Amino acid sequence: MTDTNHATTLANRIHDRSVTVGIIGLGYVGLPLAMAFVEKGIRVLGFDVDPDKPAQLARGESYIKHLGSDRVAAMAGSGRFEATTDFLRLHEPDAILICVPTPLTPQRQPDMSYVEKSARQIKACLRPGQLVILESTTYPGTTDELLEGILEETGLRSGVDFFLAYSPEREDPGRRDFTTTTTPKVVGGVDPTAGDLAQALYDLIIARTVRVSTARVAEASKLTENIFRAVNIALVNELKMVYDRMGIDVWEVLDAAESKPFGFMRFNPGPGWGGHCIPLDPFYLAWKAREYGEAPKFIELAGDINVRMPHYVVQKLLLALNERGKALRGSRVLILGIAYKKDIDDPRESPAFEIIHLLLGLGAEVSYHDPHIPVAPHMRTWPHLPPMHSQRLTPETVRAADAVLIVTDHAAVDYQAVAEHAQLVVDTRGLVDPRRANTVRA
């Protein structure tokens, strides 16, 4: 087979929709992608290390709340989807999308172990003519350094025998106005041919693809999107702390500033940052920038401010209890919400877990209520937290707590009713009237 034929053959399979797509990681990124391809008539083979996920999907059950079981059941019954834990089958797909976690180490450096493991699993099965696309958030250079290096250990050549690209995921769980298929998708190849193939693949399911010149540009665009949010969240969080010292309500300030019809974009303060990207991206770029002799102090400062917020919240709680003649040690603290944002069941990197960790370390008795997360999952970043279950939110539960700490602003919770029954409310979301004698904003 000639060099040209590998790309041509794959392009033809994409064009006539006979391509098989493999997806590594069937979580908040991989599962919506799988559904999108299947719903467009494309065969998908999903891979996950968790044996429960393929079993649940085969039964038509959804383990991600905002992806309804009706869609999962339709996918399972389509005849075009299969999920497996057998990574030796990675030779079967024509295109392989990597959708695995890219967390931070305890030293806040990129943890590429999941991406590297996926690359080595692909390497063991790599055949000529396959397209490999990384979707996980990462630093510029991951695709054409780490991935390409591992895959070329096979003796196959990138851009000739196989093709390599990067297309950052843009999932926003719970969002209704933009979905996997209606959100524009950035695509960049290690070489132009890989970029062409990746763009053609996503054009099957995405309303608009945004082609960039290289995989590195695509990687940098993902970081830029989320660093923008991280910096602005840090700004309002710092303003919250400054204005609090001045006796000024930051939420009232933001309401007033938002009345300007130009030149201002509102971001709200909170108990910290959360989600699968925003808490990671500033540190990924800062780490990579040092290789080039740069120290992005502005970005690192934003990260430091946001990391501090759970400590600030706990300090406000401690002081509020102290003013009421109570010690934090032995106090019963009810956390409202452990998802990282409102109205979803996604707890990834939620500041609630750091707050729980800090409170337990200070001797508090901690419970939580979250209408979307009945059982607190095991968290990689906080592996030693005890098992916890969501408590029923009743007037008795609220009255029994020495303090109720609002972390996530779920619409299903009646916060005014909570404030009516609570001994103390510590409000990190600006939901309860701060003029109430039992309410402290944090």
Q: In this structure, what token pair is assigned to residue 33?
A: 């992608």
Q: Edge-to-edge strand order for the sheet containing 425-427? A: 365-369, 332-336, 403-406, 425-427, 439-441
Give yes or no: 277 in active site.
yes
Q: What share of the chain is helix, strand, coil (3-state, %, to 5)?
A: 40, 15, 45
How buried is residue 374: exposed, middle or buried, by Cβ count under 10 Å (0-12/13-18/19+)? Answer: exposed
How far apart CA 54 and CA 89 sit, in angstroms, is: 14
Q: In terms of Cα–Cα distance, which of 207, 36, 208 is closest to 46?
A: 36
Q: How many residues make up the chain in this entry? A: 442
Catalytic member of 277, 364, 422, 426: 277
23 beta partners: 46, 97
Question: Which residues, in sequence order, are CB contacts of 427 under 8 Å at separation 6+?
Answer: 406, 415, 434, 439, 440, 441, 442
Bridge-based pairing of strands 163-166 and 185-189 is: antiparallel
Q: In this structure, what token pair is assigned to residue 429?
A: 């979301």
Bridge-based pairing of strands 81-84 and 43-47 is: parallel
84 beta partners: 47
Main-chain phi, psi angles of 402, to 5 degrees: -70, -25
Longest C-alpha distance within the chain, in Å?
80
Q: Helix, strand, or coil here: 50?
A: coil
Q: Tokens 């808490």: give the residue.
A: 279
Q: Are 310 and 272 in contact (CB under 8 A)?
A: yes
Q: Cα-Cα-Cα-Cα dihedral of 329, 334, 337, 338, to 10°?
A: 40
Listed in sequence order, the DSSP H helices in 77-127 are 113-123
Q: In this structure, what token pair is assigned to residue 11?
A: 């392009």
Q: Cα-Cα-Cα-Cα dihedral of 302, 308, 313, 317, to 10°?
A: -150
Catalytic residue numbers?
A: 277
